[in-house]
Amino acid sequence: MSDTQAKATPRWGRILFKVSGEAFAGEASYGIDGEIVQRIANDIVAVREAFDVSVGVVVGGGNIWRGLKGAGAGMDRSQADYMGMLATVINGLALQDRLERAGQPTRVMSAIHMAQVAEPYIRRRAIRHLEKDRVVVFAGGTGNPFFTTDTTAALRAVEIEAGVVLKGTHSGTGGIYTADPKLDPTATKIDEVSHIEVLQKGLKAMDSTAITLCMDNELPIVVFDLMGDGNVQAILRGEPVGTLVHS
């Protein structure tokens, strides 16, 4: 897109993009698949080029370490969760590298201070980066154990005044279903649902803390297939992609 060509107006002017750590592993169960990270970065760059939108990203760390798994093996839960937070920083740096190679200025901000590799998370500084057209990758979780990166996504979205949380899935389901479609062939996809219904029916969207935080702040969530071509752009155009969770 040329500098003189106007960008489209998106459905939401600021988005928080949630990417699970497992997505970074691709077909493998562990580690970082460079092609997948490049694909995610390309999607973000394409969105920034096509729309007048600012983008924050929260990355998980499940491709490297999961706190609950460590706790299940007898490790102290807080220690295991801190290890998971460090894993999210590794993923955040990988995504930053791919974004900046594609010409998109990016900042990694960590809730756990590690000045050599990431900026400390400061809300006002994060907003200023977004205003300067930088993508901000939020790593380190909330900085506290016992909270998931889903909750981090909801919290950061509220803090930076994002209009929506885009929760990208990598399982190929592409939304919220009445049951697990891999286990129940009668499961049907839900196009729209309220936050309270997600909680009452125990639907698999985000964890209950994240859903409650979004509900309290009237923040919509779109659960969609991360691997679908052009899905993020379609969502920003207002097309019915995935499942919309709203008040």
Consecutive H or E run containing 15: strand 14-19
**Residue 13 domain flag:** no
pLDDT of residue 8: 93
**Residue 151 domain flag:** no
**Residue 5 domain flag:** no
Does one domain contain both 137 and 53?
Answer: yes
Distance CA 125, CA 99 (A): 20
Does one domain contain both 133 and 206?
Answer: no
Which residues in the chain come in under a pLDDT of 70?
1-5
pLDDT tens digits, one per residue of 63-88 = 999 777 777 788 999 999 999 999 99
**Residue 18 domain flag:** no
- Helix, strand, or coil (residue 58): strand
pLDDT of residue 5: 65
Q: Number of structural domains, the chain?
A: 2
Does one domain contain both 205 and 126?
Answer: no
The answer to whether the beta carbons of residues 167 and 206 sit under 8 Å apart is: yes
**pTM, two decimal places:** 0.94
pLDDT of residue 94: 98
pLDDT of residue 29: 78
pLDDT of residue 4: 44
Does one domain contain both 110 and 223?
Answer: no
Q: How far is CA 241 from CA 112, 138, 225, in A?
A: 34, 25, 9
Quote the domain boundaries for residue 86: 23-144
Consecutive H or E run containing 129: helix 123-131
pLDDT tens digits, one per residue of 210-221 = 999 999 999 999
Distance CA 24, CA 32 (A): 5
Distance CA 146, CA 77 (A): 8
The answer to whether the beta carbons of residues 200 and 15 sit under 8 Å apart is: no
Distance CA 60, CA 238 (A): 26
